[in-house]
Amino acid sequence: MFQKILIANRGEVALRIHRACREMGIRTVAVHSEADANAMHVRLADEAVCIGPARSTDSYLNKSAIISAALITGADAIHPGYGFLSENADFAEMVEEHGITFIGPTAEQMRLMGDKITARQAAIKAGLPVTPGSPALESVEHAIEWAHKIGYPVIVKAKDGGGGKGMKTAFNDEEMREAFTMAKAEAKASFPSDVVYMEKYLQKPRHIEMQVLADKYGHVVHLGERDCSIQRKNQKVIEESPSPALNAQQRKEIGETVRKAIEQIGYTNAGTLEFLYEDGKFYFLEMNTRLQVEHPITEAVSGIDIVREQIRIASGAELGYTQDDITFSGHAIECRINAENPETFTPCPGKVTEWHAPGGLGIRVDSEIYSGYSIPPFYDSMIAKLIVSGKTRNAALMRLRRALEEFVIEGVPNTIPLHQEIISQAEFIDGQYNIHWLENYMKNHQK
C-alpha cells in the first residue's frame, strides 16, 4: 500500500480524498494555489506545497509543478480527484514516467474513453446501446448531410467536451449552420480539439449513469445507477440513487450489460458510464474515467467507499468481492450547493460569515467551508454537497427537507432556496422528471 499520496486538486474533493487516505493510514500532501493557502484540506494534510498563483492554469493545471511537488515530498502516488487534470492522459503518462502511481485508469484507457468519438466506437464494439450518430464533422455541409441521414432534431457535440460546453441542438438546416459554428467555437475555446460530431437528439430523456469498479486482474463490478436528470444547462443540480424511473429487471439488465462491456474494454479503476434513457431504452452517452462529484449517493446505498477502492486498485490489490456480494439498501439524494444567486445563477464569491451544517442519522455534508472562510472567485462555485439517505425514497425526501431547513450559510448568496423549491414540486416528489424539467420549470416560474 502507498505510504504517501499527493492530492492534485482543491475544494471538497481534496478533503474527501484526504479523509479516505487518513482512514487507510496513508500520509497526504496537499498542493494549493496562493488563493487556497487557508483551505481546509491544506490545513489538515500532513504536508502542503504551494504550486502557483490563483489562476488554475498556473497552479492546478500546472503538470510540472504538481509532479515536482510529488518528487520533493516523496509521494508515491497522485490522486487527481475530478476536474482539472483528472482525465488528462498526458498528465497520467508524465506521472507514471516519474515513477509515481497515477490513481485512475491508464493513459491509453483515458484516451480511448475520453474522446467521445472513439468511446462511442468502443461502446458499440462492447455491446452497449448507442444513439444514431455521425463521425467527426468536417464542415457545415457535412453536418447537414449527416443530420438528414440521422433525422432532426440532432445535437452537435465536441469530441473532447464536458460540462455542457460545445453542445448545440438543431431542428433544421438553418439551425444546424449556427449550431455547428457555435459548437466548434466553444470546443476550440474550452478543449484541446475543436472536432465535433453529431447524435440524434432525444427530446425527453432522463440522464442515468452506472458506477463501475475494475481491478487489474479482470474483475469488474457495478455499484448501481444514479439518476442525474435534474440539470440546468447540462450541469447536474440534484442526483439520486436508485433512479425512480427503473424497475428491478431494468436495473439488473443495464447493470450486467455495463459490467460485461467494461470487462471487454479492459478498463481499470473507477469509472462511470452515462446514458440517456427514454421510453424504456438506454443510449450510451459517454464515459467519465474518474471519480464523479455525485459518488457519495452510490456509497450511501452500496456501503462501498469508492475513493478507498480507487486507492486499493491503483496499489495492485484485487477487488476481493464479486457482483453477487454487493447489496443495495435504501435511497440517497445529493444536492449540489453553489455560491450563486439562486435565480440568476451568477457566481457570488465572498466571505462566509456563518456556517452550520445539518446533522443526524443519514446525513452527510461534503464541504471544506467554515465560518470566516473567504470563497475565492477563481474556481467553480460549488461549495458543498448535501447527501441524505433513508430506507425509502420518501424517507430520504423528508430527511432532505429537514436538512435543507437546518443548513445555514450566511455571507454569500447560495442555492439552498432553489433546492428547497425543487424538492417541493409534485413532479420531483413523484419522480416524474427529465433532463429539461428544471429549465422548463424555471422558465415558467420566472414568468
Q: What is the dihedral of CA 264, 265, 267, 271, to 10 degrees?
A: -100
Cell numbers 455560491: residue? 339
Q: Residue 230 has which C-alpha cell?
A: 435534474
Please give the Cα distance from 95 to 279 (Å, whole number).
44
User: Nearest Cα to 207, choosing from 253, 161, 245?
Assistant: 245
Contact (Cβ atoms closer than 8 angstroms) between residue 103 and residue 80: yes
CA distance linking residue 335 with residue 294, whole number of Å = 9
- State the angle between helix axes of 173-190 and 140-150 in degrees (0 to 180), rounded to the nearest 10: 120
Residue 195 has φ and ψ, to the nearest 5°, of: -70, 135
Neighbours of 182 (CB within 10 A): 15
Task: Give the β-pairing of 27-33 and 47-52.
Answer: parallel
Q: Phi-psi region for residue 145, left (φ > 0), alpha (ψ -120 to 50) or beta? A: alpha
Distance CA 299, CA 293 (A): 12
- Map grid coordinates 453553489 to a residue: 338
* Nearest CA-CA partner of 71 in 82, 63, 80: 63
Cα separation, 106 vs 93, in Å, equals: 8
Contact between 110 and 119 under an 8 Å Cβ cutoff? The reply is no
Catalytic site includes residue 290: yes
| d(C-alpha 39, C-alpha 60), whole Å | 14
Name 148's Cβ contacts closer than 8 Å, sequence gap at least 6.
none
The residue annotated as part of the active site, out of 290, 336, 364, 399, is 290
User: Which of 397, 345, 374 has the alpha carbon at shortest distance from 237?
Assistant: 345
What residues act catalytically? Answer: 290
